[in-house]
Amino acid sequence: FSCKMPPKEDAKNQDAQRLSAVIIAESFEPRFHPITSDKSFGDLAICDVRGIDYSLRWLSRCDIANVVIVVSEKHAPAYHSIESLWKGVFDCVTLVICQNAHSIGDALREVESRNILTGHFLLVPSPISFCSSTLENQIKAFKQRFKKDRNAVMSLIYSESRGDGTCVAINENGRMMAFHSQSDPSQLDSETNEFRATVTIRNDVVDTGIAICSLQALAHFSDNFDFQTRDEVIRHILVNEDIMLQYVNVDVLPSFESAISVFDYSGLIRSNSQLISRLFFPLFPFKCNKNVLINSGNVITSGRQRVRIDGWNSFVGENVSVGTNVFVTSSSIAKKCTLESNCRIVESIVSEGSVIGEGVSLDQVFISNNVIIPKGQILPKKVVIGPNVKLNGSIKVKEGSFISCTPPDEDIEDSVETEKLFDGVYSWIGKTGRDWWSGEWIGREDDDGDDKKDDNKEKEGEEAEDEEGEYDVERVFTSEVLDSLRPALTDKISQETARQIIVEINSSKIAYNISMDRVAALLFVAFLRMPDNNVFSNLKKRMDNYIQILRNYYSNRDGQLGLLEGLNEHLSSNRESFSPLVAKTIHHLYEKDILTEESILGWHEDLEKNDPMIPLVKELIEWLEESDEEDEDEEE
């Protein structure tokens, strides 16, 4: 369906064109909402520097011309300053302000509707995403592949991992054969477990979330409003490989390069410690007009203060007061915090203005702004403490819980168990195995359950319908095509309308999974079914009006055979009214160069001897054969 592709000149430019980057500055992750409250996720500070600044600094090292930042309406004001700060660095920084985006899919649909992107783009799905590489080779490889085969619509960036990898099957050309399963990333999402010997199945890599996409990949979001995440589109492409012919590539970064996109708290902690240990250098907590000192043991301090801390690979912000014998490792302490004596902080983040009491030990804990953890409070691993929580020292906190000042709001109420610890302090913990700390928070689990049921139903249905099913689907498809053809129109259709009609037919084609030659047949059936077509003058006029669409679908021999097949089908259901028109229709289409002599004759030869069509077209065929011979004579 060539009509959906951008014009050819664009395609040539795309090779030379520099990429754009699309950053989704919001997190649609419900677990982050309580800690970001009135700010966007991109505003969350890592080592006292806004998370999105790291991402933009990374992009500034890549060969990126334009940056598109998608942000929700309520967070937009803060982003105008980000836009002005970074616009000198890129050719253009565009803010796309969404009103009601609830997922990455919604955000990308908004981008698509604005028509900002003109070529390939780098999808940065989280505002805290960065990479030690400039992706130069990956981008080059993507462009080359796309030049050769326009169905290579997407390239996913994977990096090597330390064991907790996701599973993926890749063939020898780097093409993805199977994606990881949604419920268990360590398993393949594939019905078959058999692959050719050239296919590699890897689980030592992890999906960074960063992807190089062509506009075709973006079109999937706008074609189907149900797609919420990038992964759904990837699964869609893989499942419909036979129909759409599109495929996804996997690029594993070389072992010296690292990349991360933050989607959960464990990712946040990891990005924090990796930044500090200079895995992403030159991305580093450098800040305007503030000196950053790197002390022995890679303890980074900001400002002019001297702090005495045991431990290593840590960040200590400005105006932090530190007691004696404080141990901090792989953690960051934001500005204006207080660490009392004998604290022990490992792999944790303590945000601005919080107080950690004497002798408190934190291991894998995320602490938001202005929290007070008093002396004697014991915190297990993987705990998140929300903003402004003041604990009183004797509370039992469960592993993996979230401590908040407020009970959960409606959005998340159903998926967490709430316990009131004391006045104004609540403990939330994910229901049914949902983990607040890491992994996918399948907030739509209930929906998923339904989906699965639906799937089962469909499967059962499919088996029963196997024989009639196909016919049913075709009937629905035909009636949709009939609608798309806009039977009410009586004038010659404009270029624009023709384009719309073609797009609609193509999307119905994908939706009902109809093969191309059946589309050709069914389209003509639908065409003939349009009202008042039983009078030839009307039909003739229609054929002239819709000539653009007919040309689009019947340009090759297969299409034309499909048309004639459709004609046959229509005849079988409307024998009386349509019989007299058959020959005239074919003749008219021949005159208009829609049908060629070859395909008419070929089709005629394939008809069975007792086919009711034969007598109807007898004269026409004879005439065609004669003229054919005459032509040959003339040539001789």
Partner 1 sequence: MAQVDAPAAHDINEIRTTFVHNLAKGHTRENSLKIAQATVNYIRRIIALEKYENIEDLLNVLRTHLRYSISLAPTELVVRNIFLIAMKLAREENMRVLVGVDKEVGNPYDSLNTLWKAEENSANASATGKKMRKGLAATIKEILVELDSSRELIVSRAVLQLNDTVLTYGVSSSPTLRFFLESARRTIKMRQILSVSSQLDDHSGPDFTSSISLRDVAAAMTDVTKVLLPVSVVFPDGSALMPAGSLSIAHAAARHAVPVYGLAAFYKIAPYYSADAASAVNAQAGIGLPVKLADSLRHRVILSPVFDVVPAHLLSLYISNSGAVLPSHMYRLIADYYHPEDLTEEL
Q: Contact positions toward partner 1, by CB under 8 A?
A: 57, 60-61, 85-89, 132-134, 136, 159-162, 253, 255-258, 273-274, 277-279, 281-282, 284, 286-294, 296-298, 312-313, 329-330
Of 138, 127, 168, 347, the C-alpha closest to 257 is: 138
Q: Are 107 and 101 in contact (CB under 8 A)?
A: yes
189 three-class SS:
strand
A 10 A CB-CB count for 148 gives 9
Contact 233, 247 (CB under 8 A): no
| Distance separating alpha carbons of residues 346 and 369, to the nearest angstrom | 18
**By C-beta, is 160 or 569 nearer to partner 1?**
160
The smaller minimum CB distance to partner 1, of residues 236 and 344, is found at 344
Nearest approach, Cβ of 21 to partner 1 (angstroms)? Answer: 14
Is there a contact between 405 and 426 (Cβ–Cβ < 8 Å)? yes
Pick 291 or 577: Cβ nearer partner 1 = 291
Task: Give the relative orientation of helices 582-591 and 536-545 as an angle to the nearest 10 degrees.
Answer: 30
Give CA–CA dist 256/132, Å, rounded: 9
Judged by beta carbon, residue 33 or residue 61, the one nearer partner 1 is 61
Residue 76 backbone class (left: φ over 0; alpha: ψ -120 to 50; beta: rest): alpha
Nearer to partner 1, 29 or 363 (CB): 363
Distance separating alpha carbons of residues 416 and 573, to the nearest angstrom: 59
Q: For partner 1, give the closer residue by CB, 134 or 200.
A: 134
174: helix, strand or coil: coil
Q: What is the DSSP string of 194-216?
A: ---TT-EEEEEEEEEEEEEE-HH
In whole angstroms, how close is the CB of 315 to partner 1 at the nearest point? Answer: 13
In angstroms, rounded to a whole number, what is the distance separating the alpha carbons of residues 293 and 306? 9
Angle, helices 597-606 vs 613-635, to 10°: value is 130
> Which is nearer to partner 1, 294 or 535 (by Cβ)?
294
Residue 281 vs 636, nearer CB to partner 1: 281
Rg of the chain over all Cα atoms, to the nearest angstrom: 31
**CA angle, residues 244, 249, 255, in degrees to nearest 5:** 170
User: Residue 441 in contact with residue 428, Cβ under 8 Å?
Assistant: no
Per the CB < 8 A criterion, the answer to whether 348 and 363 are in contact is yes
DSSP structural state of residue 334:
-
Spatial contact of 327 and 345, defined as CB atoms under 8 Å apart: yes
Complex with partner 1: residue 284 or 426, whichever CB lies closer: 284
Nearer to partner 1 (CB atom), residue 195 or residue 327: 327
Look up residue 567 and give its two tokens. Answer: 């004609």
Show the DSSP H helices in 118-229 as ranges. Answer: 136-148, 215-223
CB of 151 to partner 1, least distance (A): 30
Q: Residue 418's CB: how many other CB atoms inside 10 A?
A: 14
Q: What are phi and psi of 350, to 5 degrees?
A: -115, 120
Identity of the residue, 288 or 488, whose beta carbon is nearer to partner 1 in the bound complex:
288
Q: Name which of 136, 93, 79 is nearest 251 in CA terms.
A: 136
CA of residue 584 relative to chain centroid, distance = 50
Backbone angles phi and psi of 562, in degrees to 5: -60, -40
| Nearby residues of 387 by Cβ (< 8 Å), 6 or more positions away | 34, 35, 37, 368, 369, 370, 371, 405
Helices of type H across 6-155? 8-16, 33-36, 51-61, 76-86, 104-114, 136-148
Q: Which is nearer to partner 1, 302 or 401 (CB)?
A: 302
- Kindly give the pairing relationship between strand 19-24 and strand 64-72: parallel
The residue among 302 and 369 lying less far from partner 1, judged by its C-beta, is 302
Residue pointed to by tokens 């078959």: 192
Name the residue nearer to partner 1 (CB basis): 81 or 100.
81
In terms of CB distance, is 124 or 519 closer to partner 1?
124
CA distance 385 to 68: 32
Q: Which is nearer to partner 1, 196 or 256 (CB)?
A: 256
Shortest Cβ distance from residue 347 to partner 1 (Å)?
8
Cis? peptide before 531, omega within 30° of 0: no
* Cβ-based neighbour number of residue 626 at 10 Å: 10
Q: Is 161:206 a contact under the CB 8 Å cutoff?
A: yes
